[in-house]
């Protein structure tokens, strides 16, 4: 009689020092997906993971969650993982991902909405400086109705810890030299202008924050 032996793949054995975390597929996914689609007005469910968005993204290499994975995470309801990611801050909002999407899912709009969600949440941003810059950009836009590069960088540099980090890394000197070059060429406006639609813009911000209906 021949003895029958069974072979077990070594992949089935737990690796030493590696904790395998199991996630429930669909856990809260339906609720988060429907709410998300209602807030941004795009059909996230139409994504079939062709990865064209990731292939078109110029900064996908620097993302911990690739654009096509972002959409999949939204479908699964993995909100915390998305808000804790570096991707939502690294994104350039160039909309190359949305342009190349065959189903017009609105990948860039989804990432931008996640960025705004993270900015208003208690979750610490993975890319702190980018998060501070994003918030400063919105504050300056609400204040003047348009963006003035000089005042934007001034407001950003005055945020806690930012100026010190710029001095330490040498970035402040580079920015100063570049700003001086732009000013000499007449490309840097020192006084901010105000948009004529500043009142309407402030209403949009207040409505978004739930202060008015």
Tell me the pLDDT tens digit for each residue of 131-163.
999 889 888 988 888 889 999 999 999 999 889
58-87 residues labelled b (16+ CB within 10 A) or e (exposed): eebeebebbbbbbbebbbbbbbeebbbbeb
Residues in the chain: 213
The model's pTM is 0.73
CA distance 88 to 71: 12
Please give the pLDDT value at position 144. Answer: 87
CA distance 43 to 41: 7
Q: Kindly state the average pLDDT of the residues 22-36.
A: 72
101-111 residues labelled b (16+ CB within 10 A) or e (exposed): beeebbbbbbb
How many angstroms from the chain centroid is the CA of residue 193? 28
CA distance 9 to 7: 7
Nearest to 113 by CA among 148, 159, 82, 150: 82
Q: Residue for token digits 């950009």?
A: 137
CATH class of the domain whose range is 26-124: mainly alpha
User: For the chain, what are the domain ranges?
Assistant: 26-124, 127-213
């Amino acid at each position: 009689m021949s003895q029958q032996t069974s072979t077990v793949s070594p992949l089935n054995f737990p690796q030493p020092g590696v904790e395998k975390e199991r996630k429930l597929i669909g856990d809260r996914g339906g609720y988060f997906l429907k709410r998300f689609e209602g807030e941004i007005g795009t059909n996230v469910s139409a994504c079939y993971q062709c990865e064209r968005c990731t292939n078109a993204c110029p900064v996908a290499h620097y993302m911990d969650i690739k654009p096509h994975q972002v959409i999949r995470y939204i479908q699964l309801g993995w909100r915390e993982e998305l808000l804790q990611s570096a991707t939502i801050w690294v994104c350039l909002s160039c909309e190359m991902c949305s342009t190349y999407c065959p189903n017009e899912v609105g990948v860039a709009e989804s990432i931008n909405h996640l960025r705004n969600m993270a900015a208003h949440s208690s979750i610490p941003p993975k890319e702190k400086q980018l998060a501070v810059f994003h918030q400063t950009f919105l504050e300056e836009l609400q204040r003047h109705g348009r963006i003035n590069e000089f005042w934007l960088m001034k407001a950003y540099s005055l945020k806690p810890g930012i100026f010190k980090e710029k001095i330490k890394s040498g970035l402040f000197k580079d920015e100063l030299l570049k700003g001086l070059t732009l000013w000499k060429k007449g490309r840097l406006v020192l006084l901010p202008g105000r948009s004529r639609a500043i009142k309407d813009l402030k209403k949009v911000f207040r409505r978004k924050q739930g202060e008015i209906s």
